Amino acid sequence: MCAMPSLDAVEKHLSVISDITVASFKGLQLRSAFQPVFGLAHGRAVGYEGLLRAADPHGTAVSPLTVFKMAHTAEEVVLLDTLCRTIHARNFASQSKDHWLFLNVSPMVFADQFQELQGFFTSLVSRCGLPPNRIVVEVLEAALHKDIVRPMAFYRDQGCLVAVDDFGAGHSNLERVWRLKPDIVKLDRSLLRHITADRTSRMFLKRMVSTMHEAGSLVLMEGVETESEAVIAMDSDVDLTQGFHFARPVPTLDIPPETNGKLELLYQQFHRIALLESKDFRAEVTPYSRAIEMAGGMMKSGTPFHTAVEAFLALPYAERCYLLDRSGRQIGNSLLSRASESHVDPRFDPVTRAERSYWGHRHYFRRAVARPGQVHLTRPYLSLPTAQQCVTCSLSVAMGNVVYVLCGDVTWSEQFSTDVTLP
């Protein structure tokens, strides 16, 4: 067990230059920089992350990664960790009265040394006049495999929030997040890099954010550097964001004048894109919903199912048609379009045969039964029988005293929006 520094011992490494607290570590001067964290709905900074900046005796900048690598022993790791937290807390407290301070804690210190450093932390917030409820303690997602239940409980008992940092950077585990229920999950920038215009990736991010919300965590998107990435963050329903697009880390808590304009522009851009996407979606699926409506009318007039759906299956991205009974059971197997027949993947053969499959739990079935007489459309989702993204058109069809639900699946792809036009 390494010797734990008290706050008094840590402060011996500090000095004040022009009202700014700095620290010395192995010949380097350590300073604070603060990057704003914005509430996307609020349109303003709700917090700041304290970040390390360092320079050698000649004034040459030294990267934070290099500084952390200079801590070779457990004692040095603890000292560097406490130095960083101390200068950030002191510099922040002198400038803010109503924001969160996001404080990074070394995974080793967070998981293994928190009991020995309890006195340091309580002394720090007391001496700085910084209420614990305005501190967000960050721990790297990579540390979640450690026993961090007690450390999380300690900081929460103090009144702090706890955030998991860099989620998505490595072998991330949603189950651990669900189990630990951090107050905030910070999504790593690498997730944004993987999300381009691909709808599938964007939907995956939305579902991830939704899952974290269900676990009771706010979600923060890190590393937002462009307007398009800001739109993706907003579209994914994250609560908080930070990144160079809005503001770079600086020693003070000043917000660049252009940031307000960027936020307002983001709202306008998101509204415009949302309207366009809604119109595009309706335009893309209209030929398919009309074909299903026509097929339903033909079936009511006595046309056999396989004949009635021919026009639907002839459309460019039509995938399959199938008929459900009143309980949601599929009647017979699906009728595939020629394109689907030519691209059948034999690996999914066990789930392709869908006769008597139960689809009563699907939204498209329940909506069709609840609101007969109109075609219902899903948003894109993964089809079990084809393992492809699709949109389902569904329509309740009454033939005599028997009610059926007619369904047609449409393959969803990036090409779809550029190829499909209204007739």
With CA atoms as reference, report the closest residue to 10 among 134, 91, 161, 124.
124
Q: Average model confidence (pLDDT) for the chain?
A: 88
Whole-number Å distance between alpha carbons of 31 and 12 = 15
The predicted pLDDT at position 113 comes to 79
Of the ranges 80-89, 163-172, 206-215, 414-423, which one carries the lowest mean pLDDT score? 414-423
Q: Is the pLDDT of residue 423 over 60?
A: no
Domains and CATH numbers, the chain: 7-256 (3.20.20.450), 287-419 (3.30.450.20)
Q: pLDDT tens-digit profile of 141-160?
A: 766 666 788 889 999 999 99
pLDDT above 70 coverage of the chain, percent: 92
Taking residues 43-47, what's their average pLDDT?
94
Long-range contacts of 51-54 (CB under 8 A, 24+ apart): 51/249, 52/84, 53/249, 53/251, 54/25, 54/28, 54/29, 54/30
Report the predicted TM-score, pTM, of the whole model to 2 decimal places.
0.78
Q: How many CB atoms neighbour CB 379 within 10 A? A: 11
Taking residues 3-8, what's their average pLDDT?
79
Q: pLDDT tens-digit profile of 224-245?
A: 999 889 988 998 999 999 999 9
Q: Which residue has the higher pLDDT, 379 or 394?
A: 394
The predicted pLDDT at position 350 comes to 81
